[in-house]
């Protein structure tokens, strides 16, 4: 009788260990699934604002919205590391695609940014950064992107022709470029901002810089 009880206890202990091991394996697998990039269609960045070497082995595309607070946070937390580690070293070409998830304000900001890019391409990234810097800390969902505010931001850059920028916003002169971006958003299945795509692979978590680095390094290995 005692022997039977001991055998049963051993069986329960072994069974419990097996269950724990299986659950741990599932957790690890799930975690890998969550952090692994999702394969999508390669992004055509022709005509998009870009930084870095044109023949860089890795392309990183940010799908972002000037009204999106997470995009501002990504630009402050992740983007500088990417610049230091990969863009300035010639490994990554970085491009930005406008997303219009916040409606009229997103469209207006994109039209203005595209106008600056077309007329004063050397100033685009400075204007791009200034737009995100102007994003209010509180009540960012409230209306703040207006033609007047954009012209006020642009006034910090004397090289930007205020009259032409105003006309471009009024006439929606760069709407064709904005629509190209919107088509890229839909084709790529972008559902959140920011979305980060590395050589046609969308990152699960855009704020996981270690995962971004791993994806870039893997792309480099695959090309060698």
- Report the mean per-residue pLDDT for the chain: 88
CA distance 149 to 178: 20
The answer on 200 and 117 residing in a single domain is yes
What's the whole-model pTM score? 0.83
- Identify the sign of the CA torsion 176, 78, 190, 60: positive
Q: Is the pLDDT of residue 8 over 80?
A: no
Residue 201: which CATH number? Answer: 3.40.30.10
Cβ atoms within 10 A of the Cβ of 13, count? 10
The answer on 42 and 31 residing in a single domain is no
Average pLDDT of the residues in 162-171: 98
CA distance 43 to 160: 29
CA distances from 154 to 71, 85, 129, 150, 159 (A): 20, 30, 11, 6, 9
The answer on 63 and 29 residing in a single domain is no
The answer on 106 and 172 residing in a single domain is yes
The answer on 56 and 18 residing in a single domain is no
Q: Of 82, 99, 104, 96, which is closest to residue 169 (Cα–Cα)? A: 104
The answer on 93 and 21 residing in a single domain is no
In the chain, how many domains are there? 2
Q: Could you give the angle at the alpha carbon of 58 between the alpha carbons of 45 and 210, nearest 5°?
A: 115
Q: Is the pLDDT of residue 5 over 60?
A: no
The answer on 81 and 14 residing in a single domain is no
CA distance 61 to 197: 5
6 CB-contact burial (10 Å; exposed 0-12 / middle 13-18 / buried 19+): exposed
The answer on 129 and 22 residing in a single domain is no
Q: Is the pLDDT of residue 134 over 80?
A: yes
The model's pLDDT over 25-56, given as tens digits with 9 standing for 90+, comes to: 434 333 434 457 899 878 999 999 999 999 99
The model's pLDDT over 199-211, given as tens digits with 9 standing for 90+, comes to: 999 999 999 999 9
Average pLDDT of the residues in 127-141: 92
| Domain of 20, in residue numbers | 1-35
pLDDT computed for residue 224 by the predictor: 78
The answer on 162 and 81 residing in a single domain is yes
The model's pLDDT over 114-126, given as tens digits with 9 standing for 90+, comes to: 999 999 999 999 9
The answer on 150 and 205 residing in a single domain is yes
The answer on 63 and 151 residing in a single domain is yes
The answer on 7 and 69 residing in a single domain is no
Q: Angle between the 104-119 and 147-154 helix axes, to the nearest 10 degrees?
A: 30
Q: What percent helix, strand, coil does the chain show, rounded to 5? A: 55, 10, 35
């Amino acid at each position: 009788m005692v022997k039977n009880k001991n055998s049963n206890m051993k069986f329960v202990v072994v069974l419990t260990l097996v269950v724990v091991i299986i659950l741990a394996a599932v957790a690890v697998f799930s975690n890998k699934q969550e952090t692994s990039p999702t394969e999508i269609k390669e992004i055509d960045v022709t005509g998009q604002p870009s930084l870095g070497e044109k023949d860089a082995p890795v392309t990183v595309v940010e799908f972002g919205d000037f009204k999106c607070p997470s995009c501002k946070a990504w630009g402050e937390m992740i983007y500088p590391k990417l610049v230091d580690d990969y863009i300035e070293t010639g490994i990554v070409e970085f491009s930005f695609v406008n997303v219009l998830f916040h409606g009229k304000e997103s469209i207006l900001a994109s039209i203005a940014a595209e106008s600056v890019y077309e007329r004063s391409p050397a100033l685009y990234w400075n204007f791009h950064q200034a737009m995100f810097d102007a994003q209010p800390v509180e009540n960012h969902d409230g209306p703040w992107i207006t033609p007047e505010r954009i012209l006020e931001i642009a006034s910090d850059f004397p090289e930007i022709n205020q009259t032409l920028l105003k006309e471009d916003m009024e006439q929606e002169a760069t709407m064709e470029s904005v629509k190209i971006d919107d088509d890229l958003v839909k084709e790529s299945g972008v559902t959140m901002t920011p979305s980060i795509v590395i050589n046609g692979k969308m990152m699960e978590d855009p704020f996981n810089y270690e995962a971004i680095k791993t994806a870039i390094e893997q792309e480099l290995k695959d090309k060698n």
